Structure 1
Amino acid sequence: MIVMLVAAGLAVGASIVVPMVMQRVVDGPVRHHDPGGLIWFGLAALALGALEALMVFLRRWTQSYASLSMEADVRDELYGHMQKLPLTFHDRWQSGQLLSRAITDIGVIRRFLSFGVIYLIVNVCQYVVVVVLLIRLYWPLGTLVALSAVPLFLISRGFARRFLTVSRQVQDSQGDLATYVEESAHGIRVIKAFGRRHHMFTRFTANADRVYGLAVERARLDSRFAPLYELIPNLSLAVIVVVGAVAVVQDHLTLGQLVAFATLQMGLVWPVESLGWILATGQEAMTAADRIYDVFDTEPTVVDRPGAVDVDRASVTGAVRFEGVRFGYPEGDRDVLAGIDLDIAPGETMALVGVTGSGKTTLVSLVPRLYDVTGGRITLDGRDVREYTLDSLRRTVATAFEEPILFSMSVRENLALGRPDATDAELAEALRVAQAEFVYELPWGLDTRVGEQGLSLSGGQRQRLALARAVVSRPKVLVLDDPLSALDVNTEALVEEALARVLAGTTALLVVHRPSTVALADRVALLEDGRITAVGTHSELLATVPSYRAVLSATADEDEDLAGWADQLPEGRGVAAR
């Protein structure tokens, strides 16, 4: 910043000195017909011009480097902060709004800091210095130039207040539009399948028209005030030329002084004209900063406690216990989980069964602290999971979700996300367990990029890769949120057989929807209305708990209907992933 200001100050100083040299030229060599004096003054003007050009180059190079570095640092900080925020934050916020803040808003701030701030400081200093020089040259006209700052101040005040409101509306609407475009891109298969292209296009144009209308309103406001910033200095210049000429005739001014006065005044035209642009970019930067601080001001709630320790993977046994666990979402009016007590022994596989919306996914998400309990506690080997560092806990507890998320990277990178040092042999074993060996048939095998969200693969293939990713990390505790729901019956049987061997010695918590998946579990827990109402083996619960039979029979009937329909298909065809 110091280098930029010094360079800018020297450049402006050189531009101010040039009119003073012109005064000496006109009142000296020109007036006295001295050609030799003209040469020396010409060389001086040339040297000042070269100095100004050099300082402008130095200032622009320095400010570009500094502003781009600042932009990168702020973007890194913002992304890192978003990674720390709890899932409850991301559940509420639109991804397009976050994208708009991380890309567009930070760019707006960078442009203002790299140009707007520097020009504002330099132009104000230039204005003050030039006005002082003008008053010294001829105080009546100098005072007139100084007083012209009053209407400029009043115009700027009204412009800034109105532009701030419109600018915020434009940036918010751009975030909404980005969200809509992102959702449409991800849901393009659904849009095409239902033939709703024209409907979605109509909704898009409505969002785009709102952005357009607000942007036009902002441009209209800018164009309404911009001519005033040009009119005032030009009117002042006209008055100076007329009054100054009269003053020269009356010997109150020399011709050289008038030339210097007019040249200095013309040098103020750009600083005044740029004031509107500086104010506009400043208001945009203010609203951008407000939007960014909407994210920064949100405090992470799932964080390491003071004194948190790393999980010792070598000695951890994997005993998991839920003690009076309660949980409610911030925007909810009641607890999703209302007093969960459950013990899972080391190496045991526990299945969770319940109707849709009973809280199964929420319960298993509490183990790796994707959410934090609002009451009670969860322990790992007798110690509250909140007393472990998040990174070590999540390396110890691996999770595979029902809706698999794959990133736009290679198969290998997706598999090794939780364990970057995994060997090809370990990846191959995990793929075999998940029945995901189809990856070797892809064009570049493990190095094939799966595309955004893995949409180049089928739902069942994505789910098997997500399962392999959880297996390859060799967790002590494995959380599986119905990871087989998109698999056909035959593939599911093969995966379950391989998983049974993997789960031996690993504590596992399974969210189960299919009755066939219950076979993987040593015990089953029935979750109803946010409480564990029954725990036992599958056979025990089937014989003694009517509600357990009802939950499983509803799913079993659906599976039987699908199987019966598949039996009626021509030979060689079956039911694909559901």
Structure 2
Amino acid sequence: MQIRDLPHADPGVPDVRSGTRFLVWLGRQQLGGQVKSTLWGLLHHLGIAGLPFGVGIAVQSVVDRDGGRLALAGALLALCGAAIAVGDVMLHRTAVTNWITASARVQQLLSRKTAELGSVLTRRVAAGEVVAVSTGDVEKIGWFVEALSRFLAGAVVLVVICAGLLFYEPALGVVVAVGIPVLALSVLPLLPRATRRADIQREKAGKATELASDTVAGLRVLRGIGGEDLFLGRYRAASQEVRKAAVRSARMWALISATQVVLPGILLIVVVAYGTRLASEGRITVGALVTVYSAVALTYHPLRNFEEIAMAFSFSRPSAKRAARVLALARTTTTTAARDEDRKATGDLYDPLTGLRAPAGLLTAVVCGDPDVAGRLADRLGGHPAEPDERHTSVLLGGVPLDELPLATARTVVLVQDKDPVLLSGTLRELLDVPSSGAVLPEDALAAAQCGDVLDALAQASVDTEGDPMRTRITERGRSLSGGQRQRLALARSLVTDPEVLVLDEPTSAVDSHTESRVADGIARLRAGGTTVVLASSPLILDRADRVVLVDDGQAVAVGTHRELLAREPRYRAVVTRETDEETAAAAHRTDGIEALEGETA
């Protein structure tokens, strides 16, 4: 796999049972790249390992005044230099390629999962964690994939050096063969504490990122209530906690690095002391002593790969665990043995969990006392249950479970607009250029959503578009517009799609009552004959609905028109008219009295 071949045609199905399994799966997907990188690493390290033998031969040839062997040593050193240069360049190229392609694979997997789950993702996983996984965690996972081939090459070379020294000079080779494994494994006792400190640092960094994300998202509200300084202080405190945790983590890694420097130095001193004694006794030659000394000195480089792989695994394993947790999220846990692709998803929308039914072709309004319950219900109606205990029952459309439909089909027939829709940057024409049936024109959708003042504002803000609001650019998330203007543009976008079922969660919560009344008329007019579900508590919308359903304590408890429910259902009046408990009890008492009187009259 080359960088020019990105993105991957198919990133594959990851093993998300654990972070370690995910890393193993990721490594298997790039087996070819790892093999190439390891081979180039072997060439690089073997070139380095060959230098001591060339130097030893050269020194001994000078001592023996042997010109032929000196020329041979020069040729060997030149060959080792070429191997080091070529191997180093190609090792870097292939290792970085492994890093980038692995990161791209993880990014594609996360993007695919985000597209599959939609807005439900942030209900199951904190927004800060999603940001951390898609940015810093991806880089750490890629780092481990990159470092793996260098570590394998370094480990093989250390084995070769130890075996070569045992064969070349057994007396000193034994010391090296015993000391090198000790050096390689010396960092293991320090890793658990270093890993714990690194985990604490990442946890605090994730919380700080989430706090920053939430603060930026609510900046307009914070300015309105004067809470900027309060949240700034909280973020400053959180960032200081991250700094302290990072310093504590860095101290452990500094200790590990120091260990990797001090212990090889001690081994080198032992080799030199023992080798000098052997040379003075005439048991080894000066050239052999120089060879062994040089070989031990050059083991520092491959030994650093052991430290790097330990750090990379310690940092990437929690990152892989978080990524695996996100990738393990499913649209639903319900499975079917077979799917009939020809099944037509049309008809009534029915939720067996709450008992809510939205008849086909009608405008159904749903009243919930809790806005959070309304938001979860909207997600369920779109085929995305937010709570684990809700996933055993799927919403039915015309008797067909939504989770049995292919995701693309389910999203074509059911569209959910939540209470805080997002507007992407671009022109207004691009905003409304979405997959649709083609039956609703953008002009009609804008008119139904009462976007006249939005079009005027965009026309006035136009710089080089000749006053055409459709060509005026909208800033990211529509920050240049008011909340009501953003809400109405999002509604227009939803109306343009003209889905089989349109679910709207509080589509007019940010507009005034006069505009809300006209928007309600526009929705009813444009969606005539289509199945529409509006979750709202505004009488202006409820009065225009064909039927109204009251959901209380997670169950549909009353059905009727707005005026019928006002007359006979105290719980409905409490939500819609904001009656107090005393007023609701009095109304219920009056209703019971009237019913009793009617019974006596009958």
Q: TM-score range by the shorter chain?
A: 0.7 to 0.9
Is residue 346 from structure 1 mapped to residue 360 from structure 2 by the alignment? yes
Is residue 257 from structure 1 mapped to residue 288 from structure 2 by the alignment? yes
Matches within 5 A, 1:261-410: 261-301=292-332, 305-309=336-340, 318-322=347-351, 325-326=352-353, 337=354, 340=355, 342=357, 344-356=358-370, 359-371=373-385, 378-410=395-427
1:430 aligned residue: 445
CA contact (8 A) 1:379 1:385 kept: yes
The alpha-carbon distance between structure 1 residues 469 and 12, as it changes in their structure 2 partners (threshold 3 A), is same
The amino acid of 2:311's aligned partner reads: A
Shift of 1:300: 4.2
Matches within 5 A, 1:539-558: 539-554=563-578
1:209 aligned residue: 240
Matches within 5 A, 1:37-48: 38-39=70-71, 41-48=73-80
Give unmatched runs, 5+ long, in structure 1: 327-336, 556-578
Secondary structure of residue in 2 paired with 1:366 = helix
2:560 equivalent among 529, 536, 541: 536
2:87 aligned residue: 55
In 2, Cα distance between equivalents of 1:202 and 1:490: 40
Q: Deviations over 1:145-194 (max 9, x none)?
A: 22224643563221112212112111222111111111111122233233
Between the aligned residues of both structures, percent identity stands at 26
Secondary structure of residue in 1 paired with 2:509 = coil
Pick which of 401-410 and 68-77 moved more.
401-410
Q: Deviations over 1:463-487 (max 9, x none)?
A: 1011111111112222222212222
In 1, Cα distance between equivalents of 2:377 and 2:262: 68
Provide TM-score, normalisation by structure 2.
0.80
Secondary structure of residue in 1 paired with 2:578 = helix
CA contact (8 A) 2:102 2:145 kept: no
Q: Deviations over 1:299-356 (max 9, x none)?
A: 44267744345587xx76543345xx22xxxxxxxxxx4xx254x4432222223534
2:189 aligned residue: 158
CA contact (8 A) 1:320 1:345 kept: yes
Shift of 1:54: 0.9
CA contact (8 A) 1:304 1:390 kept: no
The alpha-carbon distance between structure 1 residues 407 and 151, as it changes in their structure 2 partners (threshold 3 A), is same
The amino acid of 2:543's aligned partner reads: A
Is residue 20 from structure 1 mapped to residue 85 from structure 2 by the alignment? no
Is residue 112 from structure 1 mapped to residue 126 from structure 2 by the alignment? no
CA contact (8 A) 1:478 1:507 kept: yes
1:472 aligned residue: 496
In 2, Cα distance between equivalents of 1:551 and 1:267: 77
In 2, Cα distance between equivalents of 1:393 and 1:273: 53
1:518 aligned residue: 542
CA contact (8 A) 1:84 1:303 kept: no
1:572 aligned residue: none
2:176 aligned residue: 145
In 1, Cα distance between equivalents of 2:391 and 2:268: 70
Matches within 5 A, 1:236-255: 236-255=267-286
CA contact (8 A) 1:526 1:534 kept: yes
1:131 aligned residue: 162
Shift of 1:432: 1.9
CA contact (8 A) 1:229 1:276 kept: yes
In 1, Cα distance between equivalents of 2:395 and 2:197: 49
In 1, Cα distance between equivalents of 2:559 and 2:571: 12
Secondary structure of residue in 1 paired with 2:420 = coil
Is residue 197 from structure 1 mapped to residue 244 from structure 2 by the alignment? no
Shift of 1:370: 2.4
1:91 equivalent among 109, 123, 128: 123
The alpha-carbon distance between structure 1 residues 359 and 157, as it changes in their structure 2 partners (threshold 3 A), is closer
In 1, Cα distance between equivalents of 2:335 and 2:112: 15
Aligned length: 535
Q: Deviations over 1:122-147 (max 9, x none)?
A: 22222222122222333232222222
1:186 aligned residue: 217
In 2, Cα distance between equivalents of 1:19 and 1:550: 88
The amino acid of 1:346's aligned partner reads: A
Q: Deviations over 1:511-535 (max 9, x none)?
A: 2322122232122233333333332
The alpha-carbon distance between structure 1 residues 499 and 266, as it changes in their structure 2 partners (threshold 3 A), is same
2:530 aligned residue: 506
In 2, Cα distance between equivalents of 1:297 and 1:511: 30
The alpha-carbon distance between structure 1 residues 112 and 200, as it changes in their structure 2 partners (threshold 3 A), is same
The alpha-carbon distance between structure 1 residues 309 and 174, as it changes in their structure 2 partners (threshold 3 A), is farther
Provide TM-score, normalisation by structure 1.
0.83
Secondary structure of residue in 2 paired with 1:184 = helix
2:26 aligned residue: none
CA contact (8 A) 1:230 1:273 kept: no
The amino acid of 2:103's aligned partner reads: E
Secondary structure of residue in 2 paired with 1:394 = helix
CA contact (8 A) 2:435 2:497 kept: yes
Shift of 1:38: 4.0
CA contact (8 A) 2:110 2:327 kept: yes
CA contact (8 A) 2:332 2:384 kept: no
Secondary structure of residue in 1 paired with 2:559 = strand
1:79 aligned residue: 111
Is residue 416 from structure 1 mapped to residue 433 from structure 2 by the alignment? yes
The amino acid of 1:93's aligned partner reads: V
In 1, Cα distance between equivalents of 2:39 and 2:392: 59
In 2, Cα distance between equivalents of 1:85 and 1:347: 27
In 2, Cα distance between equivalents of 1:269 and 1:73: 33
CA contact (8 A) 2:42 2:154 kept: no
In 1, Cα distance between equivalents of 2:417 and 2:327: 30
The amino acid of 2:111's aligned partner reads: Y
In 1, Cα distance between equivalents of 2:394 and 2:253: 57
In 2, Cα distance between equivalents of 1:500 and 1:209: 53
Q: Deviations over 1:225-252 (max 9, x none)?
A: 3222212222222333343333333322
Secondary structure of residue in 1 paired with 2:338 = coil
CA contact (8 A) 2:133 2:322 kept: yes
Shift of 1:409: 4.5
The amino acid of 1:503's aligned partner reads: R
Is residue 67 from structure 1 mapped to residue 99 from structure 2 by the alignment? yes
In 1, Cα distance between equivalents of 2:375 and 2:52: 76
Shift of 1:87: 6.4
